[in-house]
């Protein structure tokens, strides 16, 4: 892989991780506080939902760190080694944890009696977003599992070729 491409990907990953930190410490808490100021009955839900959002962003950051490590292995030409599977497993685990968090939020939104200003469309919209996050997270985890299988097959083929040569 071209060195410039790896540098560009690493810059994008670093920017995404930094933006995630900003979101965790500034955007999410401020948004939760603003929602409580706008509609005080949301107060009991603000802290738990903000904590879940912060944990979800942390899952994305863990996945990005794993991609960073895989890029380092690509640069060294060591991607087709057993060590790469650990980082792919970290990505799968982080996406599954984030998906489970979204599933928990979906379950809570669908079962709990959450007050809503107006006609309740805010809760329905949040439920739709949480359900979409579950679908996207599950699809992403399955995709990475398939890609892990392809990495396993490529690693086996490379090992066989090394034995022949």
In angstroms, the CA 158 to CA 142 distance is 24
- Which residue has better confidence, 94 or 158? 94
* Inter-axis angle of helices 28-38 and 43-76, nearest 10: 160
Record the pTM: 0.89
- pLDDT digits 0-9 by tens, 46-100: 999 999 999 999 999 999 999 999 999 988 888 888 899 999 999 999 999 999 9
What phi-psi label fits residue 113: left (phi over 0), alpha (psi between -120 and 50 degrees) or beta? beta
* Inter-axis angle of helices 43-76 and 82-111, nearest 10: 160
Model confidence at 141, in pLDDT bands (50, 70, 90)?
A: very high
- Which residue has better confidence, 70 or 117? 70
Helix (H, G, I), strand (E, B) or coil at 52: helix
- pLDDT digits 0-9 by tens, 92-104: 999 999 999 999 9
Res 122 pLDDT > 90: no
Per-residue pLDDT at 34: 94
- pLDDT digits 0-9 by tens, 18-41: 999 999 999 999 999 999 998 898
């Amino acid at each position: 892989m071209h060195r410039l491409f790896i540098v560009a990907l690493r810059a994008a990953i670093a920017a995404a991780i930094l933006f995630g930190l900003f979101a965790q410490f500034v955007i999410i808490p401020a948004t939760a506080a603003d929602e409580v100021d706008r509609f005080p009955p949301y107060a009991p839900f603000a802290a738990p939902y903000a904590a879940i959002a912060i944990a979800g962003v942390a899952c994305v950051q863990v996945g990005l760190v794993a991609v960073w490590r895989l890029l380092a292995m690509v640069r060294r030409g060591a991607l087709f080694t057993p060590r790469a599977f650990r980082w792919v497993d970290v990505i799968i685990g982080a996406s599954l944890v984030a998906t489970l968090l979204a599933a928990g939020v979906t379950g809570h939104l669908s079962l709990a009696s959450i007050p809503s200003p107006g006609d309740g469309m805010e809760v329905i919209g949040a439920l739709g977003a949480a359900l979409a996050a579950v679908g996207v997270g599950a699809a992403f985890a399955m995709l990475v599992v398939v890609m892990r299988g392809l990495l396993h097959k490529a690693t086996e083929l490379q090992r066989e070729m090394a034995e022949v040569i």
